[in-house]
Amino acid sequence: MSRTIPSQQAPLETRSSGLEDEEVDITPPVDAFEELVRMAVEKDPSLAPLAEQHLRSKKVTAASSMLGPSLAALPNQSKPAWLRQRAPQGEVFSGLKSQLRDLKLATVCEEAQCPNIGECWNGEMATATIMLLGDTCTRGCRFCAVNTARTPPPPDPDEPVNTAEAVASWGVGYVVLTSVDRDDMPDGGSEHFARTVRTLKQLRPGILVECLTPDFRGDLDAVRHLARSGLDVYAHNVETVDRLQRRVRDPRAGYRQTLDVLRAAKECGVYTKSSIMLGLGETDDEVIDTMLDLKAVGVDIFTLGQYLQPTPKHLPVSEFVTPEKFEYWRKFGQEEIGFRYVASGPMVRSSYKAGEFFLHSMIESDRAAVRERAAQDRLQQQQQQQQ
Q: Report the binding-site residues for [4Fe-4S] cluster.
A: 109, 114, 120, 137, 141, 144, 351
- Cα(216)–Cα(239) distance, integer angstroms: 16
- Cα(335)–Cα(87) distance, integer angstroms: 34
**Helix 255-266 and helix 220-227: axis angle, to 10°?**
40
Indicate the DSSP class of residue 239.
B
Torsions phi, psi of 357, nearest 5?
-60, -45
Which residues fall in the annotated binding site?
109, 114, 120, 137, 141, 144, 351
Taking alpha carbons only, the member of 353, 309, 347, 311 closest to residue 93 is 353
Taking alpha carbons only, the member of 368, 366, 328, 361 closest to residue 345 is 328
Query: Please, are residues 67 and 117 in contact by the beta-carbon 8 Å criterion?
Result: yes
Nearest 5°: CA angle at 118, between 115 and 121?
120
Q: Is 50 exposed, middle or buried (0-12, 13-18, 19+ CB in 10 A)?
A: middle
- Cα(34)–Cα(46) distance, integer angstroms: 17
Alpha-carbon 49 to chain mean position: 24
Q: Residues 6 or more apart from 211 whose CB is under 8 A from it? A: 176, 177, 178, 193, 197, 226, 231, 233, 234, 235
Instruction: Please count the CA atoms within 13 angstroms of the CA of 249 that sit on its side-chain side.
Output: 23
- Cα(205)–Cα(207) distance, integer angstroms: 6
**CA-to-CA separations, 309 to 72, 113, 204, 354, 382, in angstroms, rounded:** 12, 11, 38, 23, 62
Taking alpha carbons only, the member of 369, 368, 370, 347 closest to residue 36 is 347
Q: Is 387 exposed, middle or buried (0-12, 13-18, 19+ CB in 10 A)?
A: exposed
> Taking the CB of residue 170, how many other CB atoms lie within 10 A of it?
17
